[in-house]
Every structure is written in C-alpha cells, then in structure tokens.
A and B are shown apart, each in its own frame.
Chain A
Amino acid sequence: MSGKGEFEPRIIGFLCNWCSYAGADLAGVSRIQYPPNIRIIRVMCSGRIDPAFILEAFKDGADGVLVAGCHLPSDCHYISGNFKALRRITLLKEVLKDFGIEPERLRLEWVSASEGDRFASIVRDMVKQIKRLGPSPLKSKEKNA
C-alpha cells in the first residue's frame, strides 16, 4: 500500500488451519467483501502462535495483529490448542501495554469453518478500530528516532 492518502493499517493475521483459515476461505467462496489490509499466515494450530511472533510483527511495522482459532471449548483439532492461545494472548495484552502498544491492536477471535461472514466482519471491524487508533506507536517512534 502506498504511504499517501488516508492511513491504511497493516494487519497480520495468524489463522489456524482447521477452523479459522477455513472460515476465511468461506468468506471468499461466499464473496463476502472486506478491506484488503490483512495478510494471513497459516499455522496448524492457534496453540503454535508464539507471543514472540506477535511482538516481532509489531516491531516489523504491523499496526494490528489478529490471532484466530477454533471455538472454545471443544472445536480445537488438537484438543486444547485454543486454550493455550487464550492464556498466551491474555498475558501478552498486558505486556503490550508496557511496550506502549494499545492492547486493542491485538485481537484473539474464534472463527469456525462455517463463519465466513464472521471472519469478514472481524476484519472490517478491526480495520476500522485501528484506523481510529492511528499508526502503530512503534512505527512513529522509529521515524522520530
């Protein structure tokens, strides 16, 4: 995206292979439109998502990060990966504050394979919210430095 004009947030989405990635696919199959700000990275399970990936994403210039996995409690293909993600992301949100990053920039959502609409509306909502928040504070710091 060009740097000109309105601020266009850059969002990284970590999606689990079994539910959320499938949900994002269904949004496509159903031709549900959402803003092109998200770059999806497929992992096998939301339990694979290391908080370090998220911190790196913010360091590399992401304005927001979406983590999506299978619905609680029992949809997880790997039994309990979604609970692991829940614990890690909850803690990480606290840590983000210390880095001066608004915790709202990080979202954890559960999206099933039949929730294409839900996936699209999460992305829409997230883009809107991050537009309100403006560019990531890490980015402006770098520029000021």
Chain B
Amino acid sequence: MANQKIGAVLVVGGGVAGIQASLDLADSGFKVYLIDQGPSIGGVMAQLDKTFPTNDCSMCILSPKLVATGRHPNITILTNTEITGLDGEVGNFEVKIRKRSRYIIEDKCNGCGICAQKCPIEAVDVFNKGLSKRCAIYVEYPQAVPLKYMIDREKCIGCGTCYEICKAKAIEYDQKDSEATLNVGSIILAPGFEAFDARLKSEYGYGRFQNVVTSIEFERILSASGPYGGLVLRSSDGDIPKKIAFIQCVGSRDFQLGNNYCSAACCMYGMKEAVIAKEHTPSNLDCTIFYMDMRAYGKEFDAYYNRAKDEWGIKFVRSRVAGVTEDPRTGNLFVHYVEDETPKTEEFDMIVLSIGMRPPKNVEALAKNFGIRLNSYKFCETSSFSPVDTSKPGVFVCGAFSAPKDIPESVAQASGAAAKAMSVIASERGTLVAPKEYPPERDVSQEEPRIGVFVCHCGINIGGVVNVPELVEYAKSLPNVVYAEANLYTCSQDTQKLIREKIQENNLNRVIVASCTPRTHEPLFKETVQEAGLNPYLFEMTNIRDQCSWVHMHEPKEATEKAKDLVRSIVAKAKLLKPLKKPLINVTPVGLIIGGGVSGMTAAVELSKQGFEVHLVERENELGGHLSTLHYLLDRDDPKAKLNALIKSVMENDKIHVYLGAEVADLTGFVGNFKSKIRQRNGEQKEVEHGIVIVATGAIEYKPTEYLYGKNPKVMTQHELEEKIANGEFGARNVVMIQCVGARNDERPNCARICCGQAIKNALKIKEVSPETEVYVLYKDLRAYGFKEDYYREAATKGVLFINYEDERKPEVANEYGKIKVTFWEPVIKEVVQIEPDLVVLSAATIPNPDNKRVAEMLKVPLTKDGFFLEAHMKLRPVDFATDGVFLCGMAHSPKYIEESIAQACAAAARATTILSKPTLEMEGIIANVNEDLCSGCRICEYLCPYGAIEMKEKDGKPIAHVTEALCKGCGACGTACPTKAIIMGHFTTEEILAQVKAALVEVEA
C-alpha cells in the first residue's frame, strides 16, 4: 500500500500562489486539497487596491480566479484548517488536518448575509486592518470564496438573532472542530508571508501616532471597498491629507532587527500607493518617498518609476529616516532625516510605512510537520537550480515563503511548483477525478419557446424588498412563459432538483432565474439545465438582488416595478436564445520549444516527465544559451556542472528531439493543433505537429559603445571579466565597475535586473582570488533584492567600495597617455575623485534577442517597447500569451536570474500540461459566427479582433471572414463593427439585445 502512488496534491495556503498551483494541478487531471488557516482564500492580494506596474484593480483580476477555484470539480477547499501531522513519503503521504469550526453548516449557508445585517455585535474588522468594524458573524470580504459566514465566538454573545433569522438553518452554535486524514502524492507549500510588525521600529511611531499607518493598512484605505470608500483620510480626524511621506525598508535591510534581506516588492508598491493616493485625492497631494535604493528591477518597473517622478510629481529622497515625532495638537508628523550630510526635518499630515515581509506565522511548526529545512531567516531553503524544491522529496514550495517576492514571481513559481508536484505522480493523472457525464441534449429547434421563470426570495434579501409573489404572477402573464414559481433559495441543492423536475414536467425549453448575479451563479444553473437535457445556453439570468433589492431597500414599490421590467426584459431575450455548441478540438500531445538555454531545456525535461514528446529547437550548434557563459554563481553553486547534467538529461531523453543549428521557419495553426517547419543545419526542413509552443529564446549581452569599450583593452564587460578570472588571467590591483551601461537610459529605460548581482558576484570573486585588489562599484541604485542583499553586505564588509552616481553626474572614462582614468563625483566627501584603475568593468545590460521580432510575427504574439516578449497579463499570467497554447519563459520574457528562469520554465511546462493532458479541449460556446451570404469581405473584423481569430478565406472567388473557433474569446467587437451585420455573436446577438432593450422600456400601467 505504502508505495502505491496517489493522484492527489495537497496545497497549503490559499493566497494567489496556492490558488494558481491548485488551478494548474486541477486542470491537468489531479485532485487538489487546498487548505488555508483563514475562513476564505485570496490571501494578501485580496486586500490590495491596485497592482503595479499596470495599476490594474486587484480584485478585478483576482476574483475570476477565486470563483474558478471555488467551482472547480477537482478542487476541495478546506478553510480554517491546520496541518497536525504528516506520514509517508513522495508519491504517498498521509496528512492529518484539523478543521476549526465555523459554527455554520457550510453546505447550508448560501452567503446571503442577512445574519450579518442583523447581528448586534461590533468587532474589529481584521481584513480592513482594524480601520473599520464588522459583526460577530461575518465573511472576510464581499467577494470571499467560499462565501460561507463564520461566527467569531470570542465576540458572539449568543443572542440567537442569527439562528432565528437564518432561513437556510445554517447556524450551529455547538459545532465542534473536526479532524481528518488526507491521502496525497505530493505537497505544495504556499503559506505566504507575515507582514513585519511596525511596532518593532518604535522610532517611526506606529501604534503611538494615529496618522502613521502601514502600507497594507494604506491599501485598505485606498480600496473603494475599504473603510473610507477609497478616499484617502487621516484616521485621527478624518481630514484629507495634503502631504504624505512614505518610508521604505521598514523591517527590511535592517541589521539591527536581523531582517538583513530586502523584501523585494516594497519599492514598487510604495511608489504605486503614492501614485494611487494622488489619483484618489481631489486636491493637490504632495507625496514624498524616503528610500535607500529604488529597487525597480522588474519588467517595465523603471518606466513606472520614471512616470512616478515625471508625470505624477512624486518626490524621492535618498535617505534612511532616523525618526518620526508628532505634533499632538494637529496630529501632524515630523520626519527627521539626513540629506547631503545635513540633518533635516519635514512636516507631513500622514506617514505610510512600507513594511517588509517576514516568514509566515508558526513557520517552525510548519517546517517540523513537513520535515523541511529553513534558511537563516526562517524562509524555506531552496537553491538556484532547484527554486521550487524543498529539502524533502515530494514537498515543493512557491510564493513568498521561499523568498520575499511580488505577485507575478509568486504566480510563476506556483505554476512551476505545480509542474514538479505533478511530475512525481504523473502516472496517476486522472485517477482521482471523474469527468462529469450529462444526458443527451434535447433538440428544441422545432419547439415554440416554453419559458420557465424561477424567482428567488434569497431569504429576505430579495423577498424583504421586492414583492416576490406579485413578481411571479407577473412573470406568468408574459408571452411564452409557461411556468413560474418562487424559491426560498434558488441556488440551494434541493432547488436544483426541483428545477430539473419542472423542466421535465412542463417541457420547458428556456429557463430563467431571477436572483443574484450571473457572475457567481450562472455556471451552477447552466449545469442544472444541462443535467435536465437542455443546452446550457438556453439559460438566462436577471439580477434582482445586487442590482435591485439591495440598492433600493427603502423603495419596495419601485424595486418591485424594476424587477418586473428586468424579468420582462430577460424573457424577451430568452425567447430568442439559441442552443450553442461548445467547439471541441483535438490536442496533439506534443510540445515545441524554441530555444535551448536553461529555460528551454528545463521546460523540455519537465514536459517529458509529464509524459509528453518535445521538439527542442536551438539556433546555435550546442545547447546551453546564456548559462554556458557563466563560470560561478553568487550562491557559489557550480553552473558548469549543473549545465552539463542538464544537457545530458536532455540529450539522453528519448522523448526530447533536439534540433541544433536549426530554427522554426514557419508556424501555423492554433492551440492543440500547431504545425511547424523546422529548418535544420543541413538545410532540410522537417514538419512537426504539436499542441503547444514555448518561447524560450533568451536574451543577449549589450555591446557597449560607452566608456571607451572596444577602444581600450582595459575596458571590458562583466562577462569578459568573469571569463578572465575563470581562466586565471586576472591580475589587476585596481578595478572600477560601472553599473547600468546600456540600461536605464533614454533608449532603454528599464533595468536589466541581473547586472547588480553580476557586479557583486565578480567583486566577491576578485576579493577571493586577490584580496588586496581595490574594487569600486559605481552605481545608480544597488538592486540586490531579496536574499541577494546578504552578498551586497558581504562585499561591502570585504572592502568593496560602492559609490552612488546620478544621471546628471555620470562617471567619465578617459585615455591619457596610455593610462585609463576614471573621474566621478564622490557624494559622501563631496569631491570629484579621479583614479587610474587597471581595469574598467562595464555592467552591460541584458537586451532582447534580435530574433524576437521574427518569432513574434510568426507566432502573432506581442513584444514590449523594449523588444522582450509581452505576456498575456503582467500580474497573473506571467508565462502565458493572450494566444492560447503559446507560453514563454526565461530571459525572452525579461532579464532574470537562473532560479527565476527555472521557475518560469517549470511554470510554462505546467501551463502547457493543462492543455496537453487533455485529449480534446472544450471551448466556450459564446463566440462569433459569420453568415457567409452577408459577408462583403471588407476585413474590418479581421483588423479589429485582438486575438487574430478572424482571417479572410477565399470562397467562390471572393474573400469571406472566417472565425477560428479556438482563438475567439467572444468579446463581440467584430459583430458590432460589421457593416453588413454578417457576424452573429452567440448568446449576445443583436436581436437578443434589442429585444431586451425594447422590453425593458415598455410602458406598464402600474
């Protein structure tokens, strides 16, 4: 029994990382148990207002993922749950869990929230960081998944109000905690982080001065659903602040506290909060950020930094703040800091502390339970070449628990961990999940519309305002409505059964539910009608709760009239509804990977472990890419040995076909069904069929034109220096390194991310081989984020001199009588310094592969302005393209360290597996259709389609628009623009919408 592998995975932690890992696993045929200590999933991202660098609304992009997780048939969410023990080994673990009681029967609670409306108790709202109140019976936030209330027994006085008012009979005061054992094959740890307790930096006054808040509190203040409705207000007096200071590195880069590391995300979120605060404040708001190094190292981050400075007028002061004092009369705050060696004090109305990330709570117990090693800061120990492996086989890690990181890094790592968790149990794919079977679909094409309307009371949420019996009678009077009834809760399990019975009894062929929002409940009802043999697109919904009874609570008569209008309107649409087919497309279970560097090779190995064949195409005559130029790493790992092992595992793998000196000459098709021509070294072309594409084309080193590079042999790049040291040719006494060469300038505004680490690595190596050599590093911002801060500190301790320069005063390199002279401004002694080094080393930027343009055009995927590939969504889809079935990883995405490339490569493999593991893909039925008789071939639709789903095909000698079903996402932009109305948008046809409009506006005599 013990060696029997189990096709299930335990995911610990329901933040965005845990959610992403769960979805990837569940979509690839594995059973998932997602457990969280709290009452709902969503993690810290659910608390954020906006996200950098796009300023997207956090909840808008997260909530579809929350809903998908909550509804996924292969995912079981266990909230309020803790791990109490672990047994077994990789492939077959036994996990003991304890589920704390909610005092609510989860199956019965439908989240209507009437209990919280009536609960007389006020408690501190932890989700809003104590800035507002909630009741003793509560959900964390309105969009919470699962939407199940919970009783805070510490606050509950047991008055019985909720018990009386809950029509679903979901309250169970004497509910006990429960224990269970889960059997899983592998485990992913995604417990996230704990925010630094700002009280420990007592000099900043948090907890003593009311107008000093933490960055997470400030996110809630900025949020439209936060304590002040999105207005920036001071908590002391409710005034709108005119001046806000942001203090960076609170609890990070702090030797005194032992939090030596950099928390990696705070520079960007601090900037973002300043920008959004200005956006939310009507009057002129003055924002100042006090920082040590502005670490805007990610993709497009420096462009954001520039906009924050130039367009938004945010002030940046390079200084570690010494302390904060308060004027007790006004609640205003004084920031004391040193600038240009001068002590200064400035008054502000409010202060935001950019607090760092700490390891999750109870991390020691977690490590003990799972038998994993922690690093010196008590984050999970990982290494450059195994960024998602813990020290225990079969247990993987992702998100901030492995190192402080931002959302896209967490999401990529989560998919990467999912790939690893799947590969150890790949043989068990599909064994614990069963595809749902539906009865054959009834043909309704010859039937008159027979509409059934189900009106929901939603306890008293709707019924307490809208006159439901009157509405039901009204619905019955409408044309084609043959059945109508009211339900206490239309979404409850017993009502689903009832709906199926009524469809049969009354021979209904259209079903309408008038209740809450289709955004959460439409999938449930669609499934119900499908179970009764109806096409799911013969279902429609109208929202008489969120958009009627809840927003017109004091106008029952008007709300009832509005509900009638809404029902009449949706009945008019339902009459016209047509069954839609969900197109099924076959999948060729083969991958094509472009690029044979560390990313491409890792992705190939991971796909082969999942059981898929891979074509790996490399332009050079050998595998290895950028990694083959590296001789040593910051963490002292041996890159050559690791690379050779990786190459060996690729070359000896019979599932991986390697093409060297080759390129993809042509690519056609769509997800599941691509065809490519590979032009090989010998000039021959080979045609291959594949279901997915992974772009891993890497990046190249910039060849500097600055600082006498190429003109004086003493000027070289970091790579050339590394080569020299590795070959034992290094003998310089004096070395100057210059950072940001070819990056963060007008031509390429963004940071190249890895050069600071490269410089530190080479400086440390120089100190190792030649301790007496002087090393100067001239930098703009030293971006040693995360645990790399330790190496920065080590280098500084070993005597490497780090000297800051600004754009206005760049260092100068000159050739004088055979000697090389470097002149720069020394900001501490405030003098121009000139030295004569033996070597000048340029930290040359990593720039896009020049081939990207051709590959992008071939794949019809976009590039950034800089020329790197642009993913589908910067935050939540870091390795996907908007085009289904095409993925990206490694430096093709943007410059990155090896561990980040490997995590992304594993992620791309996991995302690809969600497609390759299915014999057929079911696409959404709401797509565009072309009436070929009406199409004039004008091509407007082809031009408008953001997904390239429309192309012109010759028919009877003229061009006709053709929709590739697999590419269409159903936005309808084409149908709207079509001048001959030849394009029909499924489920949102022009006739349906116009019928809805007309019916909504009919004058009814009340």
A residues near B (Cβ < 8 Å) are 1-3, 10, 12, 17-19, 21-22, 24-36, 39-45, 47-50, 52-53, 56-57, 60-62, 70-71, 74-75, 77-81, 84, 88, 112-118, 120
Contacts and interface: CB of A to CB of B under 8 A. Distances in A.
Contacts of B561: 1, 36
A40 B517 CA distance: 12
B544 to A, nearest CB: 10
B767 interface: no
Interface stretch (B3-11, B223-231, B311-319, B617-625): B223-231
A68 B946 CA distance: 20
B971 A78 contact: yes
Given A57-B997, A112-B224, A114-B225, A34 B976 contact: no
Given A29-B142, A41-B993, A120 B551 contact: yes
Interface in B987-1001: 988, 990, 993-994, 996-998, 1000-1001
B721 to A, nearest CB: 40
B552 interface: yes
B994 A48 contact: no
B1003 interface: yes
A47 B49 CA distance: 25
Contact of B976 (A50, A57, A120): A50
B882 interface: yes
Interface string B962-1006: 000000011111011100000001001010011011101101011
A114 B229 CA distance: 10
A116 B225 contact: yes
B559 interface: yes
Interface residues of B, number: 65
Contact of A81 (B60, B971, B1000): B971
A81 B973 contact: yes
A27 B565 CA distance: 20
Given A29-B550, A48-B985, A78-B946, A116 B555 contact: no
Contacts of B60: 18-19, 22, 70, 75, 112-114
A17 B569 CA distance: 17
Interface stretch (B51-59, B204-212, B775-783, B784-792): B51-59
B944 interface: yes
Nearest to B541: A42
14 contacts: A2-B1006, A3-B1003, A12-B1001, A25-B547, A26-B546, A27-B551, A28-B551, A42-B518, A45-B972, A47-B973, A49-B976, A53-B997, A75-B60, A77-B971
B519 interface: yes
Contacts of B553: 31, 33
A29 B546 contact: yes
Contacts of B997: 12, 41, 53, 56-57, 60, 62
A-B pairs, 5 with minimum CB distance? A28-B546, A48-B972, A78-B971, A28-B550, A47-B973
Given A12-B997, A56-B998, A48 B975 contact: yes
Nearest to B1006: A2
B562 A28 contact: no
Given A60-B997, A79-B882, 19 more contacts: A2-B1005, A17-B519, A19-B57, A21-B517, A21-B519, A26-B225, A30-B225, A31-B553, A36-B552, A39-B569, A40-B566, A41-B569, A41-B993, A49-B976, A74-B55, A78-B973, A81-B946, A114-B224, A114-B225
B558 interface: yes
A43 B993 contact: yes
Contacts of B551: 27-28, 31-34, 36, 120
Contacts of A34: 551-552
Nearest to A31: B550
